[in-house]
Amino acid sequence: VSAFQHLEQAPEDPILGVTVAYNKDPSPVKLNLGVGAYRTEEGKPLVLDVVRQAEELLIQDRSRYKEYIPIAGLVEFNKLSAKLILGDGSPAIGEKRVATAQCLTGTGSLRVGAEFLSKHYSQHIIYIPVPTWGNHPKIFNLGGLSVKTYRYYDPRTSGLDYEGMLEDLHAAPPGAIVLLHACAHNPTGVDPTQDQWEGIRQLIRLKGLLPFFDSAYQGFASGSLDADAYSVRLFVGDGGECLIAQSFAKNMGLYGERVGALSIVCRSATVATRVESQLKLVIRPMYSSPPIHGASIVATILSDRNLYYNWTVELKNMADRIISMRHQLYDALKARGTPGDWSHIIKQIGMFTFTGLNKDQVSFMTAEYHIYLTSDGRISMAGLSSKTVPHLADAIHAAVL
Ligand code: PMP
């Protein structure tokens, strides 16, 4: 008898499980709108040209080895990543107040950040929005933090519950950590306005809460790297502290390369140096040091003027295609006279539309139309194309009638 005989079959991951179900469906019209990965108009995954070019350069360079890199990752990559999110000429960088560690993408950066906070920060409560990316509570719990929630999405308006959010943050204990989606909130696609961000910032600073930004979509949401970094730069601009988990999965299409960074913006250079030394102690027993390849690609692109420029063009193309899918889907529902106000499809931002479809409607669309999405009604706009919009619109129409 096996030592593991007592194990029960674990459920599929709620998001990745959608793809498992999709793969099993033999229908030729099946459509996977579950996972958040970019697809071309032809429905294919995309490797950016600049990524291919950077890889060529890396392969040709015979002086490169496969030696271990430092515990906190490639120094050049860390500098460039911090500059990308905080902006050229950021005083925090100039004053050497930022400690950055290359981590295993957004997920790994959040996890390292959580463990660092649970070891070295006085308050272990982290507030996350309702709803949020399903992995957030699990990452923070396992990282040693205690998870509480703040109101975020208002289903009545398909928009932000700004008052509710402020009330909940106001009631948070002093010093509590607050997880904020830097832009393109997942799954709702609802972001605060600039004025609302300012209100949130004032409250967080007034109450001495500690902001932890999750930046998984910089440049991918609006097509502009600067516009999508607005919230982070607003907070860093006031001189206060925060954490930032950065992912290059979407904006450079480097999903499986697992490349990202955790930056901790501190009050002083002295503190930042100590923070970095402690981050290394968190990382070393976890995985010793991060992988080389993805971070080398990113560093190559970010440090070369031409590659950088071409990246911004390719990034904008991806963002624009997603925005155009929003308009096409909205128009298709209007044309069908589908009951309901669907304007949130064009108002929401980023990779996802939070349709408002309920669990039963989603099951119906999967059973009758072979369309796969998460049961909360979230659809990945990047998985759509001009050819598949009519099929999705037919399915939504039938589901809500
Ligand atoms: N945060 C959010 C909000 C996300 O949507 C994602 C990706 N789905 C991530 C973090 C992390 O993804 P990765 O680890 O691939 O960067």
Question: What is the C-alpha to C-alpha distance for residues 152 and 164, in angstroms, rounded to an integer?
Answer: 7
Q: Is the pLDDT of residue 397 over 90?
A: yes
Q: Region 187-209: what's the mean pLDDT?
A: 97
Q: How far is the CA of 267 from the centre of ligand 1 (A)?
A: 27
- Per-chain mean pLDDT for the chain: 96
Q: Are 355 and 378 in contact (CB under 8 A)?
A: yes
Q: What ipTM does the predicted assembly reach? A: 0.97
Q: How far is the CA of 372 from the centre of ligand 1 (A)?
A: 20
CB atoms within 10 A of CB 175: 14
Listed residue (398, 400, 388) closest to 328, CA to CA? 388
Q: Region 191-198: what's the mean pLDDT?
A: 98
Q: Is the pLDDT of residue 36 over 90?
A: no
Q: Is the pLDDT of residue 11 over 90?
A: no
Q: Region 235-257: what's the mean pLDDT?
A: 97
pLDDT of residue 35: 79
Q: How far is the CA of 110 from the centre of ligand 1 (A)?
A: 9
Q: Is the pLDDT of residue 367 over 90?
A: yes
pLDDT of residue 16: 82
Sign of the torsion angle spanned by Cα atoms 42, 46, 48, 52: negative
To the query of whether residue 331 is one of the catalytic residues in this protein, the response is no
To the query of whether residue 24 is one of the catalytic residues in this protein, the response is no
The atom number, within ligand 1, closest to the CA of 136 reads 1
Binned at pLDDT 50, 70 and 90, residue 15 comes out as confident
Catalytic residue among 133, 161, 191, 228: 133
Q: How far is the CA of 107 from the centre of ligand 1 (A)?
A: 6
Q: Report whether residue 251 contacts ligand 1, using a CB cutoff of 6 Å.
A: no
Q: What is the pLDDT of residues 253-285, one digit of tens each?
A: 999 999 999 999 999 999 999 999 999 999 999
Binned at pLDDT 50, 70 and 90, residue 314 comes out as very high
Q: What is the pLDDT of residues 106-158, one digit of tens each?
A: 999 999 999 999 999 999 999 999 999 999 999 999 999 999 999 999 999 88
Catalytic residue among 250, 342, 376, 394: 250
pTM of the model: 0.96
Total length of the chain: 401
Mutual angle of helices 389-400 and 305-336, in 10-degree steps: 40
Q: Region 237-256: what's the mean pLDDT?
A: 97
DSSP states of 108-172 as a string? HHHHHHHHHHHHH-S--EEEEEES--THHHHHHHHTT-EEEEEE-EETTTTEE-HHHHHHHHHTS
Q: What is the pLDDT of residues 93-102, one digit of tens each?
A: 999 999 999 9
